[in-house]
């Protein structure tokens, strides 16, 4: 790989170590942030940097926040072509019989996957969760196995799912940090945001009934910039909330588990949002899906160069008042045709004072076909001349 220095930027020093995905940044003073909940966590969405933590890896019941993973698996199944939002799903007796929060699906009736997923995101419908799980994996048990596998892939080591709804069932647990990691993966799906902003909407049944859905995440209306999240409550879990909010280029994820009442969970998450936006700011260097300005050369193709796009956003946090030196460089592969759009062709690396702290993949924005025989002959003749 070839390495070339691209830019130097000013950033902030954190009171604790390294910036980068999963690395810990400054923790708030316990006297500054104190919540009546069992665990809490605050994360910068772009970098994955921890901004605040309280009992963040303690294994606790999380109630309906486990539906974050249910939604994530459904969106990923759609991306792989295993599920379509327009699919017609016939509801089983088991799905229709789920208790707790629901939209009262009718057994034997058919609903679109889009409608079911929206009801999960908006009003935490347990019956829709099971219907989706059965459609994607054949059974809730098989779907639950996928949930646990995906959790491990995301690095959620203190998470174990026993169902797709979060209804009490042992053993089942997660932790504040793992919930934030899962929500970070979910909010990367654009379709999710079509659902997460819905406040009040009627759910239409094919038999003519309607069920009114109200968003369980009250911060959608009460906190400026909140654009997603998931509530949870059982007697075992207490009142829980995971939510995301943005201001400018900065988006953060906040989690509260085991709050004493509903008001406290919303207050705790709002306070964490305020702490993040008051004390930090984020600068985006490369934005996911946006092509880099300078193209890169391709060998063996009539297409001489292609553009690259980051697979995720590369950003750094800045804590007000202190500066450090960050650099970004590109490392390109030897790009030889054929190249398919979406293929990895290089990496962008973020350094802090010469030490690598983050690395993202750069993908081909367009395809480049291999020379035809005639093109290769013509190119060879041109080079000879």
Residue with the bigger pLDDT between 42 and 3: it is 42
pLDDT of residue 382: 63
pLDDT of residue 263: 96
- Mean per-residue pLDDT, 46-62: 95
pLDDT of residue 30: 44
Asked about 247 being catalytic, the answer comes back as no
Is the pLDDT confidence value at 28 over 50?
no
Asked about 67 being catalytic, the answer comes back as yes
Note the pLDDT tens digit of each residue in 11-25.
Answer: 333 333 333 333 444
pLDDT of residue 319: 85
Q: Strand 324-332 vs strand 344-352: parallel, antiparallel, or unpaired?
A: antiparallel
Is the pLDDT confidence value at 7 over 80?
no
Note the pLDDT tens digit of each residue in 115-126.
Answer: 999 999 999 999
Query: Domain segments of the chain: what residues?
Result: 2-15+287-384, 54-279
Asked about 64 being catalytic, the answer comes back as yes
Catalytic residue from among 47, 124, 270, 271: 124
pLDDT of residue 198: 96
Quickly state the pLDDT bin for 282 (edges 50, 70, 90).
confident
Catalytic residue from among 64, 92, 101, 282: 64
d(CA 55, CA 175): 8
Is the pLDDT confidence value at 37 over 90?
yes
pLDDT of residue 324: 73
| From 58-72, 130-144, 312-326, the region with the lowest mean pLDDT | 312-326
Catalytic residue from among 38, 54, 67, 177: 67
Quickly state the pLDDT bin for 305 (edges 50, 70, 90).
very high
pLDDT of residue 353: 85
Indicate whether this model's pTM tops 0.75: yes
Asked if residue 305 has a cis previous peptide bond (ω within 30° of 0), the answer is: no
* 54-279 CATH fold: Beta-lactamase (3.40.710)
- Candidates 337, 343, 339; CA nearest to 371 is 337
d(CA 67, CA 147): 10
Whether 41 and 271 have beta carbons less than 8 Å apart is answered as no
* C-alpha dist (Å) from residue 4 to 222, 306, 327, 328, 331: 46, 18, 11, 9, 7
The residues that bridge with 60 in the sheet, in sequence order, are: 174
d(CA 357, CA 327): 10
d(CA 120, CA 128): 6
Note the pLDDT tens digit of each residue in 366-385.
Answer: 999 887 665 555 655 565 65
Angle at 319 between CA 314 and CA 322, to 5 degrees: 115
Identify the sign of the CA torsion 87, 91, 92, 95.
positive
Is the pLDDT confidence value at 83 over 90?
yes
Whether 55 and 176 have beta carbons less than 8 Å apart is answered as yes
Is the pLDDT confidence value at 279 over 60?
yes
Q: Which residues, 6 or more positions from 116, have their beta carbon under 8 angstroms from its beta carbon?
A: 89, 105, 125, 128, 131, 132
- Candidates 281, 276, 379, 294; CA nearest to 332 is 294
pLDDT of residue 384: 61
Is the pLDDT confidence value at 183 over 80?
yes
* 2-15+287-384 CATH fold: Peptidoglycan synthesis regulatory factor (PBP3), Domain 2 (2.60.410)
């Amino acid at each position: 790989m070839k390495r070339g220095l691209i830019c130097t930027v000013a950033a902030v020093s954190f009171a604790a170590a390294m910036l980068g995905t999963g690395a810990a940044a400054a923790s708030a003073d316990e006297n500054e942030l104190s919540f009546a909940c069992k665990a809490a966590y605050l994360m910068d969405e772009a970098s994955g940097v921890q901004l605040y933590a309280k009992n963040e890896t303690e294994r606790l019941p999380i109630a309906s926040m486990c539906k974050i993973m249910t939604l994530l698996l459904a969106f990923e199944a759609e991306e792989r072509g295993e599920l379509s939002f327009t699919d017609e799903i016939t509801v089983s007796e088991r799905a229709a019989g789920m208790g707790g929060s629901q939209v009262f699906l009718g057994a034997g009736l058919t609903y679109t996957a889009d409608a079911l997923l929206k009801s999960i995101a908006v009003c935490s419908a347990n019956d829709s969760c099971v219907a989706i799980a059965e459609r994607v994996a054949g059974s809730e048990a098989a779907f639950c196995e996928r949930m646990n596998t995906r959790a491990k892939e995301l690095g959620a080591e203190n998470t174990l799912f026993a169902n797709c709804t979060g209804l009490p069932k042992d053993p089942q647990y997660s932790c504040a940090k793992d919930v934030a990691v899962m929500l970070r993966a979910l909010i990367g799906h654009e379709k999710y945001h079509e659902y997460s902003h819905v406040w009040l909407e009627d759910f239409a049944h094919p038999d003519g009934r309607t069920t009114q859905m109200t968003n369980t995440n009250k911060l959608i209306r009460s906190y400026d910039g909140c654009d997603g999240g998931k509530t949870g409550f059982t007697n075992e879990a207490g009142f829980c909330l995971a939510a995301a909010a943005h201001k400018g280029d900065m988006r953060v994820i906040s989690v509260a588990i085991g709050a004493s009442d509903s008001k406290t969970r919303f207050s705790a998450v709002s306070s964490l949002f305020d702490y993040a936006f008051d004390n930090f700011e984020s600068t985006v260097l490369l934005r996911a899906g946006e092509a880099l300005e300078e193209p890169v050369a391709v060998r063996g193709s009539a297409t001489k160069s292609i553009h690259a796009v980051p697979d995720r956003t590369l950003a750094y946090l800045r804590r007000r008042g202190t500066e450090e030196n960050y650099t970004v460089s590109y490392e390109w592969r030897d790009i030889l045709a054929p190249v398919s759009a979406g293929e990895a062709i290089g990496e962008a690396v973020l350094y802090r004072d010469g030490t690598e702290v983050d690395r993202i993949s750069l993908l081909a924005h367009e395809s480049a076909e291999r020379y035809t025989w005639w093109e290769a002959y013509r190119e060879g003749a041109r080079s000879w001349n």
